[in-house]
Amino acid sequence: MNQEEKKRYVYKNQGLYALINKIKLWPARSGILHGVKSIDYRGASMTITTHCGESFVVWDSRHSRSARWLRNRWCKCPCPACRVPDWKLQKYSNTVFSDSRRYAHGS
Ligand SMILES: [Zn+2]
């Protein structure tokens, strides 16, 4: 069994909530990758709490900065206070952001 061969596929055109809920990581503007402890979804927005105790409200949008940063993996430094486990980072780097739902959007 080769763990590294395991790929996780995530539709890249879904909203931020679905992305965060699956990946459980938060890309901060500072370039730090936080571990997500909980997400409280309220329809158009959500409250995200990180393992290092930060809590903030973000809008659920597939075009948001954070969704883009997450898909492009622009955050390279895991937060030391969050103590993001290696397997989670490994899983994140093995995630393929697929656009196979593009057909659903029509021409
Ligand atoms: Zn953190």
Domain residue limits, the chain = 8-98
Tens of pLDDT, residues 41-88: 998 999 999 999 999 999 998 888 999 999 999 998 999 999 999 999
Confidence of residue 2 (pLDDT cuts 50, 70, 90): low
- Using the mean position of ligand 1's atoms as its centre, give its distance from the Cα of residue 50 in Å: 6
- Using the mean position of ligand 1's atoms as its centre, give its distance from the Cα of residue 61 in Å: 22
- Using the mean position of ligand 1's atoms as its centre, give its distance from the Cα of residue 80 in Å: 7
Confidence of residue 36 (pLDDT cuts 50, 70, 90): very high
* Continuous segment of H or E residues that includes residue 103: none
Q: Which residues, 6 or more positions from 30, have their beta carbon under 8 angstroms from its beta carbon?
A: none
Interhelix angle 16-23/65-72, rounded to 10 degrees, is 40
Q: Phi and psi dihedrals of 20, rounded to 5?
A: -65, -40
Confidence of residue 12 (pLDDT cuts 50, 70, 90): confident
Strands (E), 15-85: 25-27, 32-41, 45-50, 55-59, 77-78
For the cut 50, the answer to whether the pLDDT of residue 106 exceeds it is no
- Using the mean position of ligand 1's atoms as its centre, give its distance from the Cα of residue 99 in Å: 29
